[in-house]
A and B are shown apart, each in its own frame.
Chain A
Amino acid sequence: MVNRLVFPAMFSGVLITLSVAVYARADDLDADASNVLYNRDVRSILAEHCFACHGPDDEHREGDLRLDIRDDVMHAGVIKPGDSAESELVKRLVSIDSDEVMPPPESGTLSQDEKDILVKWIDGGAEYQKHWAFEPVMKATPPRISDELWCQNPIDRFILKRLENKGLRPSLQANRAVLIKRLYIDLIGLLPTPDQVDAFLADGSATAYESIVDELLRSKHYGERWGRHWLDQARYADSNGYTFDNARVMWPYRDWVIDAVNQDMPFNEFTIQQLAGDLLSVPTTEQITATGFHRNTLINEEGGTDAEQFRVEAVIDRTNTTGTVWLALTVGCAQCHNHKFDPVSQRDYYSLFAFFNSTVDRNNRGPEITVRNPHAEEIVELERQLAALKIEEKERGDAETVEPRKWSVLTPLASKAESKARFETLQDQSLLVSGPNAIQDVYDIVYQVEKGKVAAFQINVLPHETLPKGGPGRASNGNFVMVDVQFDDADGNKIQLDPLALADYSQSRYDVSLAVDRDLKSGWAINTNQKGNVSHWAKFLLAEPILFQKPTKLRLRMRFNQGTHPYNLGRFQLSTSPVRPAAADLIVVRRSALEARKKTLEAGRVKSMVMRELDKPRVTHLLTRGDFLRPAESVEPAVLKDLYPWSQPEQPVNRLDLARWLVDPGNPLTPRVAVNRMWQKFFGVGLVETVEDFGMQGSVPSHAELLDWMATEFVERGWSRKKIQRLIVTSATYRQASDAREDLQEKDPLNRLLGRQNRLRVDAEIVRDLALSASGTLTATVGGPSVYPPQPAGVYAFTQKKKNWPTSQGPDRFRRTMYTFFYRSSPHPMLTVFDAPRFNVTCTRRGRSNTPLQSLMVANDPGLFELAEALSDRAASEQDAVQLRLKYMFRLALCRQPTPKELRFLQDFLEDQRGKFSNSDTGPNSKAVQYAWIAVARVLMNLDEFITRE
């Protein structure tokens, strides 16, 4: 036996005739022939043949013997470690007495190889192991394989080893067009342009592939794609959930994730900030924002709810989510009773629960942080000005407080208007306007000024009976909109004005200062509907007073523009003052203007929900059967020590300690769980298929040693997700073609050995994102408030409340789908139909269904159809000739050249459609050709290949 095992090649030759099940086990033996391991080799044999009657199930246990616990086995004496011949278990296995032999004859029998394994295991000491996932991560040595040339990096050795053992060859590398498209979709969720594909195809250098990988890992869209994967786990959504499901603001947290992923924030850091950023010493706004992770829990706003009940539910969800996301443990099972399979007692559960049980939020928005304001800089500037005003007020005292007793009225010398409006000088030296009344106008008036000092101008706007409603303006209601005021001296030099102007009255949002802000779209108006057709004044202060040594001329230019109707001034008078208006008044006016502006700007701030600890922690009780109304004994916060020891920090412990324990390099679960989830995204299935459950009930890894090897690399490479992903996508395993192969289909129908890549239908968001990128309509903006792309009618037929859905126009209509506003009770149908979860609880693995409803969605959804139209337009704008345009459109959508057969088919289809549309849509403005092209674009976007990563 031993001799055979050390010659694996010979051994495998012998084995070809044996059954698949035995074969699989032999593979593993090959990996390490010298010893038999309980988890790898023995457990499955015992489970298959023995545990039904001699396992954990108390009810069906026979002969009071269980074989799954070493102590019990030793106690019963059925195994003598190191001596299989003297072990009752082996005797029973080989017995020929039908009353003695085990398993009983009617229950089948063990194969010779299985028996050999048990013998060898007992001879080796019959060592049991903990469940594989609870054993420490052991860095495996990449195995030796026969085809060194195929391997790009160590990942490939692990994969190839199992394939070789099974007599299988890996698939050829996918063709380069498929490769680049695969990378784009997997790393950023968008399509490469035909130019980008061409450049890659033309790049013969050895590093062509790697440079695309690096470029994509640097792309800002990488953070969106991989941030989205994380947001699934964070159960991020834009509403509160339950039946009311009102909107909430959590997108700053979403943006934090995107940003952190783009920066490749180490996963340990990433963990700590989200679970306990608020508990770091002197946390930054970003670190506090990160704690939004656990504020993505639901809030029940129904009347008559018990806030405590839903607070407890949120804490339960935080506990369970933490267990699933970092440990892949179904800790929630222990909410009501000890976990039946995994080492989590009910007490453990509530000790974990206790970490989350002392936050301030209580089924409400709770603590929030102001995370962002697009006007933040201006607000800082306003605050600076307000502070300066305060000082100015103090310093100035009464020095310049003398209000000028008399304003000197100036005499107009010449006047003209762009519109050729006419001016008449009245007795009080005011000008009355008549004649043409244009939609916008500029008045240009020259005044006589006497010698002396000028520190301020005053424009009086005056009513007059000839004006509409009595004026002072010439708009139908007597108003005007003065968008600019400018004074020039006799030499034509512009006189600098203080940016703050004063008026006895300004219409809301038409403050007088807007007439001197250099923005020709904003200006001063007086709302005659409210204030009546009465006179008003505006004062414009010179930045520096001017001393005129002799009489001279002064030019006033005023510009009027409301946009759609004439809003020109009808009568006005100009005067000057040698002193500024009273400083105190000025400061008051100035301050109120600044404060008003600041208030307006501050309304634009964004607050995001965050975690905050109570000053005095709550006492946590074990809840009988999970019922918050039935507290039992109290418990202290503690981690799952049986899983991985904890160097108990000084009391009291908090979330920060939990977070640190989770990402301790020795934690057996966190790194395995994290790399497995990454793997899942690149191959469709994790090395451990149950990415959400690494416990006893979960599936076993297809490549346990590869998983451990990657987990070790992950920690050693500073918890860098980009580095692990780079490893994965540069492996030969990843680069294989995804085409089906008969031999693989037969021996490995689920493709768990990865003798080829998998074809994977893309995620819900990416279905539309691909359409956006193929059609060239994508708005590439990263982050910001969620948006409202078009959605089909009737979405709210079954919700309690009709949601506000102000369909986005302009660029926001074409944002990436991850920015689509997500109401938990009624998500955009595009998302649910393609298996996006509802984010009531964490999601680590999305379904990938294939249904008629999806077909209807892509075929008919107005929001997607308009992208098919855009794809048609885009191709039309680039290529004129039919064949070229067809090819180009095909490449925009599918990133490869059409086969001659496909091209011929599309050309016929185009012709056929054009012909039909021409029959129904005739005349000089016929859109038949355009429709036919849209029909082609629509077909392309509906192909299986379009929504599939190949």
Chain B
Amino acid sequence: MDHENEMSRLATRRQLFRDCGVGLGSIALTQLLDSSHSMAVESSGSLEVLHHPAKAKNVIVLFMAGGPSQLEMFSHKPKLNEFHGKQTPKEFIEGKRFSFLGKDAKLLGSARKFKSCGESGVQISELLPFHQQVADKLCFVHSMNTDVFNHGPAKIFMNSGNPQPGRPSMGAWVTYGIGSECENLPSFVVLQSGPRGPRAGAALWSSGFLPSKHQGVPFRSSGDPIVNLTSPEKFRGEYTRDFHDAVAALNRQRLQATGDSEIETRIAAYEMAYRMQSSAPELMDIGGENQQTLDRYGAKVGGASYANNCLLARRLVERGVRFVQLYHTDWDHHGGPGQTLGKDLEKCCSQVDQASAALIQDLEERGLLDETLVVWTGEFGRTPMGETRNQKVGGRDHFIDAYTLWMAGGGVKPGISYGSTDDLGLSVAENPVHVRDLHATILHSLGIDHEKFSVKFQGLNMRLTGVEEAKVVHEILA
């Protein structure tokens, strides 16, 4: 092992608690939640004080890229099975937008068996046996709806409240607003798994018009997590510190001469880079986790998977990283080859089921679930109508009118279901929750009032929730 890595291991073990100020103890959280006079945000957020006491301080978004089918997983519709193969009612199809379906699409029942789980009795399908076990910790929203039905725009919408790229993403807004509690790692980290990266790519974790330090930093799940993390040979160890000190000193001289605040940002960026050189490898090294933990997630040392990423997500929030986002591809089950609701959906489910449940349990056991809001979602759901590809009805089209997501921890009521759809799952029957409402609710749980949290850009007061009405879903908050 080279000197630098060794140093970093030693140093970060020691510094973990000191610098990040989180770890197992929840001192910062306690202050934030319980003590009315310490509502001030400690770190470098733009909000001087929170708008109200926070329920959560970290967010983990488990993003199922492609649009998972609620009808095969969480939304049990016996009536749909009954009407399987029937023409979809005309009045429903009129004016609806799909990417592939024609007007003659027929209803498609679900082949999956559902089970009533836990004390709450929530219905979860056989595809998710591990979810079934943690059902009482989850809060399901069955009445989600969004505006856009193509993957890229829908993902960007889900992340930034706008279908075109260029606006700040949720993670950027959050870290901009309440800063970070970890100075050794970026405040917003993105991990990905599955056969490819999510469509729309970096636009999903962009900082938009907010300062660029708030953009999400993608970590590769194996090898050097970040490109060029290691100093050149001969210039490691103390030479790395010397290098950074010298760069900072000369940058400060130039800052004095020019008064350009961008140099301050540059100085901060180099400082962060230095800290990342030791903390990132330490973070990624899951070798120190006990076997029981690894097994619970299904994670493998040296592996790259959604399971590993879930474990990393816990390690990240443990270190005070504010916003963690996991992308898992590909959930776009239209029915064509590799996209069936049969084995292809089964594969996706088996890749995420165990680890998602393990994350909830692990966070809870470590006392982190209370302060961490976990959101499991796609960019949209899938139609109750079947889609025909290659002459077979094996899938469903994108569906924006009614789909399901779940949340857990961070002040969300466990073991409840909120909102409902009609018997066929064609539209929301009660308590619709729009993506904007979700955004408002996430911000609310972090102590932020979405209406007051705006940034002036091009003459407009820009908000994550945009100009149209958005409401906090108080009913799901504890």
A contact set with B: CB distance below 8 Å: 243, 304, 625, 627, 689-690, 699, 738-741, 759, 761, 792-795, 797-800, 829, 832-833, 838, 847-857, 859-862, 865, 899, 901-902, 905-906, 909, 912-913, 916-917, 931, 934-935, 938-939, 942-945, 948, 950
Contacts and interface: CB of A to CB of B under 8 A. Distances in A.
Contacts of A857: 227-228
Contacts of B230: 860
Given A739-B259, A759-B260, A829-B227, A699 B458 contact: yes
Kindly list the 3 A-B residue pairs having the minimum CB-CB distance in the complex, ordered from nearest.
Answer: A740-B259, A849-B212, A855-B273
Contacts of A913: 239, 242
Interface string B314-341: 0000000000000000000000110000
B197 interface: yes
A739 B258 contact: yes
Given A740-B261, A798-B196, 13 more contacts: A699-B459, A798-B192, A798-B220, A833-B227, A850-B211, A850-B212, A852-B272, A855-B269, A859-B243, A899-B253, A939-B243, A943-B251, A944-B262
Contacts of A901: 253
A832 B218 CA distance: 12
A795 B227 contact: yes
A699 B201 CA distance: 26
A794 B223 contact: yes
B213 A939 contact: no
Interface in B448-473: 458-459
Contact of A931 (B202, B234, B262, B337): B234
B199 to A, nearest CB: 10
Nearest to B245: A909
Given A829-B227, A855-B269, A860-B230, A797 B215 contact: no
Contacts of B232: 860, 862, 865, 938
B250 A943 contact: yes
Interface in B257-302: 257-263, 265-267, 269-270, 272-273, 276-277
B226 interface: yes
Interface in B214-263: 215, 217, 220, 222-224, 226-232, 234-235, 238-239, 242-243, 246-247, 249-251, 253-254, 257-263
B398 to A, nearest CB: 13
B227 A794 contact: yes
Nearest to A940: B250
A378 B217 CA distance: 53
A856 to B, nearest CB: 5
Given A850-B262, A913-B242, A939-B250, A860 B228 contact: yes
Interface in B363-413: none
Nearest to B389: A304
7 contacts: A798-B197, A851-B215, A855-B272, A905-B253, A934-B235, A944-B251, A944-B266
A797 B223 contact: yes
Contacts of B196: 243, 798-800
Contacts of B202: 832
A799 B195 CA distance: 8
B269 A852 contact: yes
B247 A856 contact: no
Contacts of B222: 797
B207 interface: yes
A690 B257 CA distance: 31
Contacts of A859: 228, 231, 243, 247, 270, 273
B458 to A, nearest CB: 5
Contacts, number: 158
B367 to A, nearest CB: 30
A911 B161 CA distance: 54
B97 interface: yes
Contact of B246 (A761, A916, A939): A939
A856 B277 CA distance: 9
Nearest to B221: A797
Interface string B424-454: 0000000000000000000000000000000
Contact of B243 (A848, A906, A935): A935
A739 to B, nearest CB: 5
B397 to A, nearest CB: 12
B109 interface: no
Interface in B183-215: 186, 192, 195-197, 201-202, 207, 211-213, 215
A794 B228 CA distance: 10
B273 A849 contact: no
Most buried by B among A690, A850, A857, A913: A850
Contacts of B243: 859, 935, 938-939, 942
Contact of B262 (A761, A934, A943): A761
A851 B228 contact: no
A798 B227 CA distance: 13
A759 B277 CA distance: 29
B306 to A, nearest CB: 14
A942 B270 contact: yes
Contacts of B223: 793-794, 797
Given A759-B262, A938-B243, A739 B257 contact: yes
Contacts of B197: 798
Given A938-B235, A944-B262, A625 B97 contact: yes
Nearest to A336: B97
A160 B238 CA distance: 52
Contact of A851 (B213, B246, B262): B213
A860 B97 contact: no
B213 A838 contact: no
Given A829-B227, A850-B266, A939 B247 contact: yes
Contacts of B217: 851-853
B247 A792 contact: no
Nearest to B193: A798
Contacts of A851: 212-213, 215, 217, 269
A902 B97 CA distance: 64
A895 to B, nearest CB: 14
A848 B265 CA distance: 12
Given A798-B197, A800-B196, A935-B235, A853 B227 contact: yes
Contacts of A943: 247, 250-251, 254
Contacts of A852: 186, 213, 217, 269-270, 272-273, 276
Given A794-B223, A798-B220, A950 B253 contact: no
Contacts of B228: 792, 829, 856-857, 859-861
Contacts of A935: 235, 239, 242-243, 246
Contacts of A950: 258
Contacts of A832: 202
A690 B247 CA distance: 35
Contacts of A902: 250, 253
Contacts of A850: 211-213, 262, 265-266, 269
A304 B212 CA distance: 40
Contacts of B270: 852, 855, 859, 942
B337 A304 contact: yes
A862 B213 CA distance: 24
A800 B238 CA distance: 39
Nearest to A44: B459
B394 to A, nearest CB: 14
A304 B336 CA distance: 10
A902 B217 CA distance: 33
A859 B263 CA distance: 16
A304 B337 CA distance: 9
B231 A860 contact: yes
A856 B251 contact: no
A295 to B, nearest CB: 23
Most buried by A among B186, B227, B253, B336: B227
A916 B212 contact: no
A829 B226 CA distance: 11
Most buried by B among A792, A838, A856, A902: A856
B324 to A, nearest CB: 17
Nearest to B97: A625
